[in-house]
Amino acid sequence: MPAVIYEKKGRIAYITLNRPEVMNAINMEAQKGLNEAWANVRDDPDVWIAIVTGTGDRAFSAGADLKEIAALRMQAEQGGGMPEIVSPLVPMRSPEVYKPFIAAINGIATGGGLELALICDIRIAADSARLGLREVVQAVMPGWGGTQRLPRLVPFGIALEILMTGDFISAQEAYRIGLVNKVVPLDELMPTAEALANRINENGPLAVRAVKEAAYRGVRMSLDEGLRLESLLMQGLMTSEDAKEGPLAFVMKRKPEYKGR
């Protein structure tokens, strides 16, 4: 079985880390699979939204595969040279695929696993999930964006406490501080994520992507620059077929039929 399973059902893509025997730890194969999955979502016009999760009920992902990393280091020390490692640059460092991503956190999400959830736009956690960035416990630090994204999502002091202690927090605490959007029983996790995905997909897909782009780019700009960006994106939307269909359907009192163009 592949380390990452990519499936499509209707307009939804499902990206599933599939190494339950090691708590869905991210090895080189999984890194490559995540890169390919993000590119597939970006490039497939039939996909409007993606849900990211892990196999099983123990872990969303325990982060980087430390056993693989240790073996590679030993190989390098013995003169074999460090093999080329596929870096998860597409999802971790350049996540600007403007289609929405929902993380369905089905268990432990730590290290690179939590960082994977952080690049998603909306996070839903099972009530049994635990979240943390434990790199400092192993005398290293988050390297897939955790030190940058976490302080942008939760209060700065709380982010530093999570980063500096390496302690886990519960799903309920993650909800309290705004790290996750919802907490539900495990058996309701995927139905809740799918219901939210379907709700978002009722809207004009180009408009949803423009909203995401405006928000992500805008937070790196001044207010005036952000307002100009919003105006430019709005002008582009107004020429689309969907922007004509939405008001027409409203006037005709029928459900709009959006096509993403």
Residues labelled as active-site residues: 115, 135
> How far is Cα 96 from Cα 112, in angstroms, rounded to an integer?
18
- In angstroms, what CA-CA distances link 88 with 136, 223, 239? 21, 32, 35
- What is the DSSP secondary structure assignment for residue 83, as one 8-state letter? P
Measured in degrees and rounded to the nearest 5, phi and psi for residue 49 equal -160, 155
